[in-house]
Amino acid sequence: MRRLLEWRGHAWLALAARVYLSWVFLYACWHKIVHPEMFAVDVATYQILPLELINLMAIILPWIELAAGIMLLIGWRTRAAALLISGMMVMFVVAISIALHKGLDMSCGCFASQGAAEDPISWRTIVRDSGWLLLALYALLLDRIPIGIDGWLAQRRVRAATSNQGVT
C-alpha cells in the first residue's frame, strides 16, 4: 500500500487531472462572473437556499471557482484548491440530487445558463459531477509533491535543508 501511495507517477496523473479540472472550473466561472444575475436565477431555481442568500451565493461562488481553478492550474496551494473543488463538487451533487428528488425541470447552472430544454439535470449530471469529484480527490490525496509552484517550493526547501546540514 505504501508503495502505491509513494508512486512517482501520481504527480503526472494528478497534473492531467488538475489541468482538466482547472479548465472545467475556469470555463464554468466565466459566465457566472460576467452575468451574476443569470446565475442567481439558476441558484434560486434549486429552491434550497433562503432568498436572502441567493445573490450572495451567485456573487461569491464564481470567484471561489476562479481562485480554485487558477490554483490547481499553476500548482500553488494544490491540496487546498483540490479540497475546495471537492467540497464544491459534493455540494453540487447534493443540490442536483435534491432538485431531481423534487422533480424540478431545470438546467444545472454549471456553465452558461442554457435552460432546462437544452441542458436538463439528470442522473448523468450527477455521474459527471461525481467523476470530477473523484479527480479532485485524487489530486487532494495522492498528489504529494505536485508539479507546479508547490513542487518547486518543496524542492527549494529540500535543497536549503541539505545545504544547511553541510554547514555547521
Rounded to an integer, what distance in angstroms lies between the CA atom of residue 128 and that of residue 111? 13
76 near 150, Cβ under 8 Å? yes
Three-class SS of residue 25?
Answer: helix
The domain tally of the chain equals 1
- The reply to whether 159 falls in a domain is yes
- pLDDT tens, 134-159? 999 999 999 988 999 999 998 898 88
- Could you list the residue range(s) of the whole structural domain that residue 155 is in? 8-163
Asked, for residue 138, whether it belongs to a domain, the answer is yes
Give the C-alpha distances (Å, rounded to integers) separating 133 from 33, 87, 125. 22, 8, 12
Residue 75 lies in a domain: yes
Task: Look at residue 41 and tell me if it is in a domain.
Answer: yes
Mean pLDDT over the full length of the chain: 92
Q: Give domain status of residue 108, yes or no.
A: yes
**pLDDT recorded at residue 4:** 75
Residue at 130 is within a domain: yes
Nearest CA among 82, 62, 65 for reference residue 15: 82
pLDDT confidence of 116, banded at 50, 70, 90?
Answer: low
Q: Is the pLDDT of residue 163 over 90?
A: no
128 falls within a domain: yes
pTM of structure: 0.89
Q: Highest mean pLDDT: which of 2-11, 60-69, 118-127, 158-167?
A: 60-69
